[in-house]
Structure 1
Amino acid sequence: MASNPTKRITAAGTVALRTGADGQQEVLLVHRPRYRDWSLPKGKIMADEYLPGCAVRETREETAVTVELGVPLDPIGYPVDNGAKKVYYWRASAVKERRHAPDDEVDEVAWLPVALAMDVITYHDERPVLQQAMEMPTSTPLVVVRHAKAMLRANWSGRDQARPLDERGRRQSRLLVPLLEAYGVRKLASSTSVRCQKTLQPYAKAQRLEVDGWTTLSEEQAAKDAKAVSTLMRRLVKQTAADGVPTAICGHRPVLPLMLEAIGVPARSLQPGAAVVAHLGPDADVVAVEFHKPRI
């Protein structure tokens, strides 16, 4: 049987912004000698990677600039040899910069005023993405995670709240680290059940954070008092928006609809290790929503 020659390439990148010395907004561009072009930093996704993590990693590898993501922007699609490529973008803020060492892939990196960058960018389809980034409001990410894959109830004889992650779940929890890092998460909350706490533990350890446990978010307690879940979530949403501190909250499949509806996001089915990112405006309104599922 002949193989299908069509290939689909998925990539991710950023519109990284900073305020220049003269107060103007500047955007980060790269020059690629192979193509002789100026473009937004981007690159192909790795096998087990979440797209946001790819966007941050590729930006760092190409420019030596570490960024944190804001709202998602419109993707760009275009044909490549024997197939098609789709690039997903985020508005991003620079949080750390090092000197870029020129290489065969990127020989020059430049922060340019946005007006100048509009003229310098080689590809016309990247200009609307830059314009969109400039028009989007600032926001704070709130990441709601369904706990990673847990041991089956039938194979666990202890209390259900103590049921641990299985091998796949432990791997999913580790792969969540670059996803949460991409949004600059600095506060963690969770159901008190072990499978939820363990899902956030690798990130908590990497960032030296504590996970605030809430019995209210456990399956058992939520079944008794659904209103308390909604009240708690609305409080956490308001606090996240007011403080401007990116936050992640881990919960259970039966409780997630209550958690999402309290944020203002329609409930939907999420697989273990999946995440919903709600970008909150200053008044705790949701200005953008993303859904990311694990690739294992």
Structure 2
Amino acid sequence: MIKAAGAVLWRDADGDVEVAVVHRHRYDDWSLPKGKLDRGETVPACAVREVFEETGYSCVLGRHLKQVSYSVKSVPKTVDYYAAEAVSGSFAANDEVDSLKWLPVADASALLTYEPDREVLAEFTRLPADLLLVLLVRHAKAGKRSEWDDDDDLRPLSDAGWRQATALRSLLPVWSPTRVHTAPRVRCVDTVRAVAEDLSVEMVEEPRLSEEGYWPDPEAGLVRLLEIAADEGRAVVSSQGGVIPSVVRTLAELGGLRLDEIPCKKGSVWVLAFTRPFGAWSTSDSPSRWPTLVSAHYLASALPRP
């Protein structure tokens, strides 16, 4: 299996969206920037690296768009595509790409050589480019509850859990979060502590997103997550396995989003994208004006590919 990743790289052009298409001289084709994973690399990190190497632009990932599958010389290959906003940089011809064009979406689609690339671009245009984003993290592995004699709130991460936390520290910045929220459990806090330190921000404790705080009033927990989503800047939220599936399932149902299953491994991440409310928003408004979940993508592990 060959694994690769790429992106629809976009920018705001006086209120309109333009996307980048690249010409590869080796194949004489127009395509979206993409490339194979390096050893020890995650799929999202690969997408960011390949965009930079092929286009010269640094980018911030948004929602996952789709996975494309095909064969290369009878070897199966998958390419995961993300929306990615260009934040800095400029193009220079390189070993892989000799030309780049910024185009309106319709023009870009007409120029692309391959139908799968056009399908990826069509998925990109299905929703607004600039969405709210919450990175909902299940805490990393902790020691077994049966082997912990103290208050369960204080149960620490295991060695494997600290490795997962280190991997999350490297992975989560590709979405450029600016805030860190956490259920008030040591294992939840320590899972994202280093992320907050790197951002130089204080972690905000969220009692309603712990198991004990959520289940007496699930609606209040959902509203709190929507409040977090609607605040300025993207958010990391660290919570527990007894909360995350219920939150994701309910938000998906409210948004009319079909999810066949809702896994929740320790150290995993749900990348949740929401529409932006129109104008100032508060929980006293009609639910029709609340942020709506429109995309939910699950990353089972932040650990890189061996």
TM-score class normalised by the smaller sequence: 0.7 to 0.9
* Counterpart for residue 248 of structure 2: 260
Quick check: 1:277 aligned with 2:277? no
Structure 1 distance, partners of 2:100, 2:21, is 6
Among 48, 57, 61, the residue aligned to 1:56: 48
Q: After superposition, give the CA deviation of every residue in 1:174-204 in whole Å (9 maximum; x if it has no partner).
A: 2223432232222211111111111112221
The equivalent position to 1:160 in structure 2, one of 136, 146, 152, is 152
Partner of 1:88, secondary structure, is strand
Question: Which residue of 2 is the match for residue 45 of structure 1?
Answer: 37
Q: Which residue of 2 aligns with 1:33?
A: 25
Q: Does 1:251 align with 2:235?
A: no
1:117 has 2:96 as partner: no
- Alpha-carbon separation, structure 1, partners of 2:41 and 2:21: 24
Once residues 45 and 214 of structure 1 are traced to their aligned partners in structure 2, the CA distance between those partners, rounded to angstroms, is 36
Structure-2 residue corresponding to 1:175: 167
Deviations 1:21-79 (A, max 9, x none): 6x543211223232232211112234554433332232123222122233332322222
Asked whether 1:106 is paired with 2:93, we answer no
- Contact preservation (8 Å) 1:161, 1:194: yes
- Code of the aligned partner of 1:276: W
Report the alpha carbon displacement of residue 275 of structure 1 after superposing the two structures with TM.
1.3
What amino acid is aligned across from residue 270 of structure 1 in structure 2?
C
Q: 1:232 aligns with which of 209, 213, 221?
A: 221
RMSD: 2.6
Structure 1: distance between partners of 2:127 and 2:208: 34
Amino acid at match of 2:233: V
Corresponding residue of 2:280: none
User: Structure 1 residues 226 and 120, CA, compared in 2 at 3 Å: closer, same or farther?
Assistant: same
User: Who is 2:8 aligned against?
Assistant: 15
Distance 1:226 1:188 in 2: 22
SS at match of 2:216: helix
Q: What is the match of residue 288 of structure 1?
A: 295
Aligned to 1:200: 192
SS at match of 2:195: helix
Q: Per-residue CA shift, 1:120-164, capped at 9, x if unaligned?
A: 322232122223312323421122111111123344444322222
8 Å CA contact 2:63–2:271 kept in 1: the answer is no
Structure 2 vs 1, CA of residues 30 and 208 (structure 1 numbering), >3 Å: closer, same or farther? farther
- Percent of residue pairs identical: 34
Residue 272 of structure 1, CA deviation: 0.9
8 Å Cα contact 2:241/2:264 also seen in 1? yes
CA distance in 1, matches of 2:262, 2:122: 31
- Name 1:133's counterpart in structure 2: 124
Contact 2:6 2:79 in 1 (8 A): yes
Q: CA deviation at 1:229?
A: 5.0
Per-residue CA deviations over 1:266-296 (Å, capped at 9, x if unaligned) read 7733111111122111231111111111165
Distance change in 2, residues 1:203/1:108 (3 Å): farther
Native 8 Å contact 1:240 1:246 kept in 2: yes
1:213: Cα distance to partner?
Answer: 1.5
Q: Conserved in 2, the CA contact under 8 Å of 1:280 and 1:288?
A: yes
2:179 matches 1:190: no
CA change 1:143–1:263 in 2 (3 A) is farther
Q: Does the CA contact (< 8 Å) of 1:11 and 1:43 recur in 2?
A: yes
State how far apart, in whole Å, the 1-side matches of 2:96 and 2:220 are.
Answer: 51
The answer as to 2:63 corresponding to 1:71 is yes
1:234-291: CA deviation from partner (whole Å, max 9, x where unpaired): 12314423x3532221112223334334534677331111111221112311111111
Q: Counterpart amino acid of 1:11?
A: A
* 1:227 alignment partner, SS class: coil
